[in-house]
Amino acid sequence: MFHPLDIKAPIPVRFNNPFDYEPDALCRAAVKELQSKLPVNPIEGKMYGVLIVMNKGRLGYLQAYSGQIENEPEGFVPAVFDYLQPNGYFKIHEAEISSLNHMIAQLQASEEYKEAQQQLKDIQQEAQKVLDEKRNVMQAAKALRDKRRKEAFISEQEHNEMIRQSQFLKAELHRTKLTYNEQIDAAKQRLQLLQDKITAWKRERKLKSDRLQYWLFSQFSLLNARGERKNLLDIFRDYYLLNSAARTRMVQKLSASADKTEDKNISISLLPPSGAGECCEPKLLQYAFLQGYKPISMAMFWWGPAPKNEVRQHGSYYPACNGKCKPILMWMLEGLETNCDTASNNTEQTIEIIYEDSYLAVINKPSGLLSVPGKSEKPSVYSILKERWKGENEPFMVHRLDMSTSGLLVIARNLSVYKALQKQFLHHEVSKRYVALLPLSFLEKHKPTDGRITLPLTPDVNDRPRQMVDHINGKSAITEYHVVGKTKYGKDNQEAIKIQLHPQTGRTHQLRVHCAHKEGLDTPIIGDTLYGKRDERLWLHAEHLEFTHPITAKDMSFDSTLL
C-alpha cells in the first residue's frame, strides 16, 4: 500500500486544504506514477487520489479510488469498511432486497396483472359506451314525447303511456348502472389484491433498505488525527446540527412536538448521503491513521470519460465534494495542522464605479469578490456599497455574478428602482454579453463559429455549488455564443480563444457548464476550478450591460474590458 517516493521537493508545513488546493510537487509526482499504471482509455471514468505520507522518516504515498470494486486491484488502500464480502451481512440483506425487487417486477409484468388491468379498463369502457347509448335513447324518446305534446292534444291513455315509457327507460338505465358497477367493483377488487401485494412488498423493501443503510453507516468508524473514532451517523448528525441552520430548525421544531412519531423525520434529516465514506479522501486518511503514517498533502483527479450528466475532464484535479466528504474530512482532519483556515476572510478588495446617480449604480466587479455576503465575513459588492452609501441608501442587488466572475453589475438604490429593473430582467429587456477565454484545444473540437447551447441544469445535491446537466428534471438554460478568435492573456501572455457568450437564461454556473460539458463546447473556461483547471483567475467577464433607466427612461449602455 505504501509507495516510496524518490523526489527532491520541499515538504509542506501544513496539510493542504482538500476543498481548495493546487497540487504540490509531491502530489504531482505521485499522480504521475499512478497514472502511468492506469488504463490509457478506460471504458468508465473514476476519481482517483493520492496522499503523501511520512512513514518512519521515509517519504511515500498512498493511492485510492472512489467507491468499491468486488475484485480490488492491488496497490490501493482498502475500503474504510468492506461490505462486499460474498456471505457478509450486507450481501445477504442486499439479496433479500433484490429478491423483493424481482418479485415486484415479476408481478407487474405478469399476465395475471396485465389481464386484471385490462379487464378493469375494458369493463369501464364498455359501461361508458352502453350507458351513453341508453342515455341517448332516453333523450331521443323524451324529444319525441315533447314534440307529440306540442303537435296535438293527447289522451289520458297516451299521457300515461308516455310516463310509463319514461319510467321504464330510467329504470333500465339504473339497472344497467348497477350491473356494471358490480362488474367494475369485482374487477377493481381483483386488481387491488395484486396491487396490495406490490404495495406490501414495496413497504417491506423500504424498511429493509432503510435498516440496511442505517446499519451500513454505523459500520463506517472513522479516525481523526487525534486517534478518536466516530461512525458516519454521528459525524453527519454533529456536522448538520452545527452547520445547517435549516436542519437545526427542523430538529428543534420536531423535538418540541408532542407527536413522537416525528422522531423518524429527525433521524432521516440527519442521515449521511448514500455513498458517504467511499470517496478517495476518507479512505486515504483512514489507512494512514491506522498505519501511523503522517499525512503531508493530498490530491484527487478524474481518469476516463465523464459521466453523462456531470462535467469531468480526463486527468484534471478536483477538490473534495461538499455533500459527502466535507462533514467527514472536517472530523478526520481534527488534530492535524491544515491550510483550511489560513486564508484571511477580510482581504481588502475594491470595486470600480462605472456610473452612479441617486437611483442606481453600475460597477465593475473584480474576480474573487462576492456579489452578496456569504456565510463568512468576506467583503462583497453589497457590503462595500452599503458602507459607501451609509445613511443614504440600502443596496438592492438586481442580479449577481459568481465570485470568480468579473464584470458589470447594476445595483438599485431603492426598492421601486429594484422592482423596475427586476421586471426588465424578467421580460428579457436587459442585454448582457460575457467574454470568456478557452484553451487552444477548443479548436480541435471543430465547433461552429456561432451557435446555441440548450442544456438544462440542476444542482449537484452532493457537491454544491456544482451544477449538472439533467435533460429530464433540469431547468431550461440557453446560451448563444460567438467565437471571436485568438487572443493573449495572463501574466505570461499566453494564447487563448476568445468567445462571446449571450445568456438567454440566468441559471447558476450556466456559462461555465455550457462551455465545459461535452454536449456544449466541451472545453472548460480557463481557470475554472470547478469544471476545468486552475489558473491565476477564472477568465470569464461580464463585458456588456444594457438596460433602460427606470426613472429617466434613457437607454443605458456600458462596456468593460477583460483585463
Q: How far apart are CA 88 and CA 378, in angstroms?
A: 49
- DSSP-based three-state secondary structure for 186: helix
Contact status, residue 231 vs residue 213, Cβ threshold 8 Å:
no
Q: How far apart are CA 156 and CA 163, in angstroms?
A: 11
CA–CA separation, 401 vs 251, rounded Å?
A: 34
Question: If we measure between CA atoms, which residue out of 395, 393, 400 comes closest to residue 465?
Answer: 400
Alpha-carbon distance of 222 to 67, in angstroms, equals: 16
Distance CA 142, CA 148 (A): 10
- Which value, in Å, is the radius of gyration of the alpha carbons in the chain? 33
The pairing of beta strand 406-412 with beta strand 540-548: parallel
Cα 91 → chain centroid: 29
Instruction: Please tell me what DSSP assigns to residue 445.
Output: G
Alpha helices (H) along 292-360: 326-332
Catalytic, out of 402, 460, 463, 528: 402
Cross-strand pairs, 54? 59, 294
Classify 434 as helix, strand or coil. Answer: strand
In the structure grid, which three cell numbers stand for residue 468, read together? 449538472
Catalytic residue status for 555:
no
All three cell numbers of 41: 482509455
Cell numbers given for 479: 446560451
For 245-260, give the secondary structure using H, E and C: HHHHHHHHHHHHCCCH
Cell 476516463: give the residue. 304
Helices and strands (DSSP H and E) totals, the chain: 12, 19
- In whole angstroms, give the CA distance from residue 366 to residue 404: 8
Decide: helix, strand or coil at residue 395.
coil
Under DSSP, the state recorded for 403 is T
Cα–Cα dist 499/408, whole Å = 17
Question: Distance from CA of residue 100 to its chain's centroid?
Answer: 29
Strands 555-559 and 457-459, sheet pairing:
unpaired
The vertex-41 CA angle with 38 and 45, nearest 5°, equals 75
Pairing relation of β-strands 467-469 and 229-231?
unpaired
Active site residues: 402
